[in-house]
A = this chain, B = another copy of it.
Amino acid sequence: MIVEVVAVGTELLLGQLVNTNAAWLGERLAELGVDCYFQTTVGDNQARIVAALEHALERSDAVVTCGGLGPTQDDITREAVAEVMGVPLIRDPQLLEAVRAAFVYRGRKMPPNNERQADVPRGATAIPQKRGTAPGLICPLRRRGDGSEQVIYVLPGPPGEMKEMFDRAVVPDLLQRAGTRHVIASRTLRTWGIAESTLAERVSPVFDELEKEGAPVTLAFQASGIEGIKIRLTAKAVDVDEAKVVLDAKEAQLRDILGNLIFGIDDETMETAVARLLERANLSIALAESLTGGLAAARIVSVAGASRFFKGSIVCYDTEVKRRLLSVSAPLVVSEEAAKQMAEGVRTVLDADIGLALTGVAGPTPQEDQPPGTVFIGLALPNLPAYAVRLLLPGDRQQVREFAVISALDALRKRLLDT
């Protein structure tokens, strides 16, 4: 089965909006095992939308459109699709009520323009909205010589609405048309602290086994910069329960191999992983940040409920601040000794159980004869003297900082797992 994506919107052509929908749809279609050879972007012009759809239908079995379902006069995807289908638009009274209800729910009155959102090409099925106002559409059509059916899936442009509708309504319909009677489920294992090539090598037994099994699960790596490397498992199964069993089994196998290199699942970030461990152990934390200048603290406070375990951070950019506030006596402030003293100092000053410290050289020039990318992480655990580790991180000023933050959080995470 071949599917093509047509994104509609003059704001995309003008570059006022980056087409992230196309990337998301491409990823999902690939997971579904569906081929996607072309993506097209077209402006809010009916003749050109029609041309793009017709061209896409010449070379594909199905087309997914996104955008152009709003209430204003330049939102004309519905009209263009009806033209391609050769049918009139019919206003659906039930759908009209649903659009109106979405406004009532928000305590607002529906402007007359929004009535257009209840228009459905004859023969199409509406996809109810769950977030916004514009319903989606499933539009079957027969234009081929052999009389076989094609389909246009019409989705709204706002990413949240588009994604929810795609997963809920398009995926099952698409799989049914593709003649497959299975569901697709994915899980992402997030790792830190291992190179992609090493990771690939270590999990190669799992890969090999998957090949033998005839691959009910596929496995893909995704290098994600300061978010580490993601391992995405995608399972085809007869239902969601079976998919879960299959994914659980593969996750367990990968955890056996990778252990605590896996810091989270799906949307779980490094800071949420650390927060969970701190809360479980009922420990509070304070930070002392030099080169990272508050970035580590900012990541921690992004976790909801951070006030339960986070005391604060002393951003000691100035050497005098390190000496006076944190009692750093080490002659060199970019050093193992300074990192340890910062961790112990902040643990005391902010009255926390754990002190975590970062000092180093963001660049572009060396400091105290240390090259850019040199980072010392100091960690003072409850009732223990601090220790420090030295890292040499790649990248520019900003990357060194961001790598330093996640490395420090990861060092803490591993220690909390061990204790």
A interface list, Cβ under 8 A from B: 12-20, 22-28, 30, 36-43, 45, 48, 52, 55, 222, 287, 289, 291-298, 300-302, 304, 306-307, 310-318, 320-321, 324-325, 349-351, 362, 364, 397-398, 401
| Minimum Cβ distance to chain B for residue A15 (Å) | 3
User: What is the chain B residue whose CB lies nearest that of A313?
Assistant: B315
In the complex, which of the residues A292, A295, A300 has the most CB atoms of chain B within 10 Å of its own CB atom? Answer: A295
User: What is the chain B residue whose CB lies nearest that of A30?
Assistant: B14
The answer to whether A27 and B48 touch across the interface, beta carbons within 8 angstroms, is: no
Copies of this chain, count: 2
The answer to whether B307 and A318 touch across the interface, beta carbons within 8 angstroms, is: yes
Provide a sorted-by-A list of 26 A–B residue pairs whose CB atoms are within 8 angstroms.
Answer: A12-B23, A12-B39, A13-B30, A15-B22, A15-B23, A18-B19, A37-B43, A38-B48, A39-B40, A40-B40, A55-B55, A289-B294, A291-B301, A293-B300, A293-B302, A294-B295, A294-B297, A294-B313, A294-B315, A298-B401, A311-B318, A311-B320, A312-B315, A312-B318, A313-B317, A314-B315
User: What is the chain B residue whose CB lies nearest that of A48?
Assistant: B37
Answer whether A18 and B20 are a contact pair too, CB < 8 Å, given A294-B301, A295-B294, A312-B314. Answer: yes
The answer to whether B26 and A13 touch across the interface, beta carbons within 8 angstroms, is: yes
Q: A19-B23, A22-B41, A312-B318 are in contact. List 16 more A-B contacts (CB 8 A).
A: A12-B26, A12-B39, A13-B26, A15-B24, A38-B42, A55-B55, A291-B301, A293-B310, A294-B294, A294-B315, A301-B362, A302-B398, A310-B317, A312-B315, A312-B321, A318-B350
| A16 contacts across to B, CB distance below 8 A | 23, 27, 222
| A297 contacts across to B, CB distance below 8 A | 293-294, 315, 317
Q: How far is the CA of A25 from the CA of B15 in the complex (A)?
A: 7
**Cβ contact of A38, chosen from B18, B30, B40, B292, cutoff 8 A:** B40
The answer to whether A15 and B19 touch across the interface, beta carbons within 8 angstroms, is: no
- Residues of A contacting B: mostly: mixed
Answer whether A315 and B315 are a contact pair too, CB < 8 Å, given A41-B22, A298-B298. Answer: yes
| A398 contacts across to B, CB distance below 8 A | 302
Q: How far is the CA of A321 from the CA of B287 in the complex (A)?
A: 13
Which A-B residue pairs are the 7 nearest by beta carbons?
Answer: A294-B294, A293-B301, A15-B27, A294-B297, A15-B26, A313-B315, A15-B23
Q: How far is the CA of A184 from the CA of B13 in the complex (A)?
A: 19
The answer to whether A287 and B312 touch across the interface, beta carbons within 8 angstroms, is: no
| A289 contacts across to B, CB distance below 8 A | 294
Q: How far is the CA of A198 from the CA of B82 in the complex (A)?
A: 39
| A313 contacts across to B, CB distance below 8 A | 293-294, 313-315, 317
The answer to whether B312 and A316 touch across the interface, beta carbons within 8 angstroms, is: yes
| Minimum Cβ distance to chain B for residue A273 (Å) | 18
Answer whether A307 and B317 are a contact pair too, CB < 8 Å, given A13-B37, A17-B23, A41-B38. Answer: yes
Q: How far is the CA of A218 from the CA of B142 in the complex (A)?
A: 47
| Minimum Cβ distance to chain B for residue A74 (Å) | 15
| A28 contacts across to B, CB distance below 8 A | 15
Q: How far is the CA of A81 from the CA of B301 in the complex (A)?
A: 51
| Minimum Cβ distance to chain B for residue A419 (Å) | 23
**Cβ contact of A26, chosen from B14, B55, B300, B364, cutoff 8 A:** B14
| Minimum Cβ distance to chain B for residue A386 (Å) | 20
User: What is the chain B residue whose CB lies nearest that of A300?
Assistant: B293
The answer to whether A22 and B25 touch across the interface, beta carbons within 8 angstroms, is: no
Q: How far is the CA of A12 from the CA of B39 in the complex (A)?
A: 9
| A26 contacts across to B, CB distance below 8 A | 12-15
